[in-house]
């Protein structure tokens, strides 16, 4: 006799060669499994199990045969034809699930294919020959809203694809009864009811191939899906005219002051004056003008005419050498002969903007360059706010009356990357074909034990004598088992309440993997945040919390561009930037799958423990018969799976806003001649960028998710049934039912009626059973 919690495994075992000969006599032929040369710590236990491996009613092959429709001993021949026939015509369980997964994958594939065809045709008809081209152009606010909605939809779709793929991968990795028997005979046990890599060594090669196809096809999808649509922002390089009221009225300016040094400039100035006369420029009050142009990337404004109070001497504008951009010209004498005081070309393009530390400095112009340079903070660091008053904003000594601003039509573009959408369609097609084959073919899945209920039903109907007398065997005892005396009999076990929590249902290996993935994810996020805070502090003095908050979430600005030595121009820059930006998406997918496995294990343990208390409960199986129930989304109830999918969508979206693709297009608008030939114009730069606030929110979401799962692990399980940790061996040991028990009726696990001087036995039964008594022995 031993106490519950100690190893009961004191029994005989035989060699694997002997087992093979026994199995051949029973009609079983097992192929060697790679890796069997290494002896598992469980080998003594399961060798003991294997030495007694036979079924009290029929062998596993007979069981499988009798479950096959048309077999003489199938349900249809046992008087249940009327009850089960309709159910067999209507798919249930994992087969229904895989059909739904196939339907979902097909709908997504169809939509992706239609979009690829439509976008390709539209792009080619518009004259674009490259793989990246605009599909919508317009106001930046509308384009960014469209892009946000598109990215949310993409993350929903990609999460659904990942969920469908994970569903099918769990189904195809679920062992059959024959796989379980084979593993038990080899000194191993298999996982039941959870996504499992452990099982892959024991399932058939065709099922392993399906599993690999589903898993590997997810990787490129998460690498590129979020970058199929890219927003490109136009950064308008603009000309600033300092004028008096007479320019607005159409009075001529002294052309001889401009034409000798800069040919073509006069034409540009006349073009602006004509546009102002035609009311093509919008009038802005000084405060509104400052707000419109106090931006490092000006996407919604272009040329600006700043109307100043009349001045008698404009020599002071020559001293404003802060206007050091190419094309700056200051000629205004004699002032009575010209309505233009100065013409300035603002050319802080995004292609070289990372080397600039003070943008839109013309707004903060003072009397001299020396006075300007001595002022802190600089204009782009907040000094522009000091100009926010009609009485204080002045350029030189001239007070600004108002501005006339050009508002361009095309500000932003939503671009489609055709090569990336082709990749999505290709691997979407792979998933669809594989899932359809899995759903419709009987060559892949043959009666897999997908849920714990499937395994319980199998072991009730076909008991494994090797585990008889171990009714209180737990997963902890399986892991702690050692090689003991071969000739000792298995003693009865003294029941002792375990007071286990849900966390005990998860293997240490799974907890370690989850912890490592969480640590790596948080390390990457915190590292990127630290890099950003350091860069913002050292280069721009913007590393404080308020400054990072002001940068927003997923916004385009030069402060958060990642200045690595990556290609910036051409389609090569897009490919490199997409791969860099989406690396965290792949890690997040692995993290989701692992956390999903954790919750699945704990949810299964909660359901398992309920069979030891209350009234009889029907088994939840893939293909219900009699009183049995159908399955949830595999082993995970919807109250867990739906929040997990929602969290996955949220995390993927926040990661897409934490590290993202930025494409900026420098453009001079509405200036023929001189300005149109400005070097560097009409070239798009593509770089990765980050958002500090999005990173912080992602860290919070990942942390809350993990600690929420840890909190679920603190929930206590009901006493009675041993914790299985999804082990096929523990489930088998608990399933030696009392006489007359049918898996098709409601069952409960407990102590059968025995004489007081006899050792009790715990198992499933359709009849009333008692609760194990503390200090009493059971076998």
Q: Mean pLDDT lowest for which of 252-256, 283-287, 515-519, 526-530? A: 252-256
Least trusted range by pLDDT, from 38-47, 518-527, 703-712: 38-47
416's CB contacts (< 8 A; 6+ apart) are 119, 123, 132, 133, 134, 135, 228, 229, 230
For residue 285, tell me if it sits in a domain. Answer: yes
Query: Quick count: other Cβ atoms within 10 Å of Cβ 278?
Result: 8
For residue 255, pLDDT beyond 70: no
pLDDT at 231 (0 to 100): 84
pLDDT computed for residue 184 by the predictor: 82
Cβ contact 763:736 at 8 Å = yes
Which residues 6+ apart lie within 8 Å of 750 measured at CB? 612, 720, 762, 765, 769, 770, 771, 772
Handedness of CA 56, 57, 58, 63 (dihedral sign): negative
Contact between residue 197 and residue 122 where contact means Cβ atoms under 8 Å apart: no
Q: What is the arrangement of strands in the sheet containing 777-778, beginning at the earlier edge strand?
A: 2-3, 493-494, 777-778
The string of pLDDT tens digits covering residues 322-346 is 443 333 444 455 544 567 777 777 7
Within-domain flag for 243:
yes
- Quickly count: other Cβ atoms within 10 Å of residue 21's Cβ: 11
What is the C-alpha separation between 333 and 341, in angstroms, rounded? 9
CA-nearest of 375, 311, 373, 359 to 339 is 311
Q: What angle do CA 272, 275, 277 make, to 5 degrees?
A: 110
Highest-confidence range of 176-185, 367-376, 555-564, 677-686, by mean pLDDT?
176-185
Q: Which of 268-272, 320-324, 331-335, 471-475 has the lowest mean pLDDT?
A: 320-324
Digit-coded pLDDT (tens) for 367-391:
444 444 555 566 666 666 666 565 6
Residue 659 and residue 586: Cα distance in Å, rounded?
Answer: 13
Handedness of CA 642, 645, 647, 653 (dihedral sign): negative
485, part of any domain: no
| 381 lies in some domain | yes
The answer to whether residue 494 scores a pLDDT higher than 70 is yes
Q: Which residues contact 283 (CB under 8 A, 6 or more apart)?
A: 402, 403, 404, 405
pLDDT higher at 357 or 190: 190
Task: Give the distance between the most distant pair of CA atoms in the chain.
Answer: 123
| Residue 620 or residue 385, greater confidence | 620
Contact (CB, 8 A) for 549 and 696: no
Confidence (pLDDT) at 677: 42
Give the H or E element holding residue 3.
strand 2-3
Contact (Cβ atoms closer than 8 angstroms) between residue 44 and residue 484: yes
Share of the chain above pLDDT 90, in %: 7
> Quick check: is 132 in a domain?
no
Q: For 133-143, what is the mean pLDDT?
A: 83
Asked if the structure places residue 279 within a domain, the reply is yes
| 604-631 average pLDDT score | 85
Digit-coded pLDDT (tens) for 426-472: 999 999 999 998 888 777 777 888 888 899 999 998 888 777 777 87
Tell me if 342 is assigned to some domain.
Answer: yes
The domain total for the chain is: 1
Q: Which two tokens stand for residue 518?
A: 């969480």
Tokens of 386: 């000091």
pLDDT at 610 over 80: yes
Check residue 259 and give its pLDDT. 54
What is the span of the domain harbouring residue 368? 230-413
**Strands annotated E in 139-208:** none
Q: Cα–Cα distance between 769 and 762 in angstroms, integer?
A: 9
Query: CB-based contacts of 123: which residues, under 8 Å, 6+ apart?
Result: 133, 135, 416, 418
Cα 241 to Cα 305: distance, rounded to the nearest angstrom: 5
**Is the predicted pLDDT of residue 666 greater than 70, yes or no?**
yes
- Does 22 score more than 50 pLDDT? no
User: Given its phi and psi angles, is residue 234 left (phi above 0), alpha (psi -120 to 50 degrees) or beta?
Assistant: beta
């Amino acid at each position: 006799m031993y106490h519950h919690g100690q190893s009961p495994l004191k029994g005989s075992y035989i060699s694997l060669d002997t087992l093979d000969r026994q199995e051949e006599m029973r009609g079983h032929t097992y192929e060697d499994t790679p890796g069997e040369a290494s002896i598992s710590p469980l080998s003594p236990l399961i060798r003991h199990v294997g030495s007694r491996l036979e079924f009290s009613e029929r062998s596993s092959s007979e069981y499988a045969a009798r479950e096959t429709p048309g077999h003489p001993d199938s349900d249809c021949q046992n008087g249940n034809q009327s009850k089960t026939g309709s159910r067999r015509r209507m798919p249930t369980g994992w087969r229904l699930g895989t059909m739904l997964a196939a339907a979902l994958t097909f709908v997504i594939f169809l939509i992706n294919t239609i979009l690829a065809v439509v976008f390709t045709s539209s792009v080619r008809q518009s004259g674009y020959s490259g793989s990246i081209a605009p599909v919508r152009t317009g106001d930046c606010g509308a384009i960014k809203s469209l892009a946000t909605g598109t990215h949310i939809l993409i993350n929903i779709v990609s999460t659904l694809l990942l969920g469908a793929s994970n569903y099918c991968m769990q189904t195809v990795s679920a062992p059959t009864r024959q796989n379980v028997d084979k593993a038990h005979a080899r000194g191993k046990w298999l996982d039941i009811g959870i996504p499992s890599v452990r099982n892959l060594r024991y399932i058939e090669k065709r099922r392993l191939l399906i599993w690999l196809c589903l898993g590997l096809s997810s990787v490129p999808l998460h690498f590129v899906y979020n970058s199929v649509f890219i927003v490109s922002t136009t950064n308008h390089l603009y000309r600033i005219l300092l004028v008096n009221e007479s320019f607005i009225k159409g009075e001529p300016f002294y052309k001889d002051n401009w034409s000798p040094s800069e040919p073509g400039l006069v034409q540009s100035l006349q073009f602006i004056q004509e546009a102002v006369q035609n009311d093509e420029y919008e009038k802005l009050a000084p405060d509104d003008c400052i707000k419109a142009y106090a931006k490092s990337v000006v996407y919604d404004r272009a040329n600006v005419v700043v109307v100043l109070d009349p001045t008698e001497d404009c020599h002071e504008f020559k001293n404003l050498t802060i206007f050091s951009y190419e094309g700056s010209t200051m000629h205004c004498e004699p002032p009575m002969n010209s309505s233009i005081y100065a013409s300035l070309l603002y050319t802080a393009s995004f292609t070289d903007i990372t080397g600039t530390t003070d943008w839109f400095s013309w707004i903060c112009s003072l009397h001299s360059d020396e006075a300007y340079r001595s002022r802190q903070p600089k204009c782009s660091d907040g000094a522009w706010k000091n100009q926010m008053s009609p009485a204080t904003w002045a350029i030189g000594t001239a007070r600004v009356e108002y501005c006339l601003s050009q508002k361009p039509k095309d500000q932003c573009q939503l671009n489609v990357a055709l090569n990336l959408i082709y990749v999505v369609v290709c691997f979407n097609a792979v998933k669809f074909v594989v899932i359809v084959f899995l759903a419709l073919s009987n060559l892949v899945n043959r009666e897999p034990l997908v849920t714990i209920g499937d395994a319980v039903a199998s072991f009730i109907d076909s008991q494994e004598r090797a585990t008889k007398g171990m009714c209180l065997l737990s997963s902890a005892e399986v892991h702690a088992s050692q090689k003991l005396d071969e000739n000792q009999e298995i003693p009865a076990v003294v029941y002792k309440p375990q007071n286990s929590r849900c966390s005990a249902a998860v293997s240490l290996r799974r907890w370690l993997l989850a912890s490592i993935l969480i640590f790596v994810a948080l390390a990457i996020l915190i590292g990127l945040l630290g890099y950003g805070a350091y860069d913002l502090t050292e280069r721009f003095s913007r590393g404080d919390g308020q400054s990072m908050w002001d940068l927003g979430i997923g916004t385009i600005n030069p402060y958060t561009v990642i200045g690595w030595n990556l290609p910036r121009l051409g389609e090569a820059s897009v490919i490199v930037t997409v791969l860099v930006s989406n690396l965290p998406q792949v890690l997040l997918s692995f993290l989701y799958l692992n956390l999903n496995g954790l919750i699945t294990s704990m949810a299964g343990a909660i359901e398992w423990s309920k069979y030891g208390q209350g009234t009889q409960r029907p088994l939840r199986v893939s293909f219900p018969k009699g009183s049995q129930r159908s399955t949830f989304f595999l082993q995970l109830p919807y109250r867990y799976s739906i929040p997990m999918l929602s969290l996955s969508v949220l995390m993927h979206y926040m990661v897409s806003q934490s590290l993202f693709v930025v494409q900026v297009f420098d453009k001079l608008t509405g200036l023929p001649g001189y300005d149109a030939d400005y070097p560097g114009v009409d070239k798009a730069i593509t770089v990765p960028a980050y958002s500090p606030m999005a990173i912080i929110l992602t860290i919070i979401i990942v942390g809350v998710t993990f600690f929420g799962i840890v909190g679920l692990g603190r929930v206590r399980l009901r006493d009675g049934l041993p914790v299985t940790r999804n082990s096929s061996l523990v489930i088998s040991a608990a399933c030696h039912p009392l006489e007359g028990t049918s898996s098709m009726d409601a069952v409960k696990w407990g102590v059968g009626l025995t004489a007081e001087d006899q050792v009790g036995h715990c198992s499933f039964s359709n009849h009333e059973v008692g609760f194990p008594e503390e200090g009493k022995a059971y076998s």
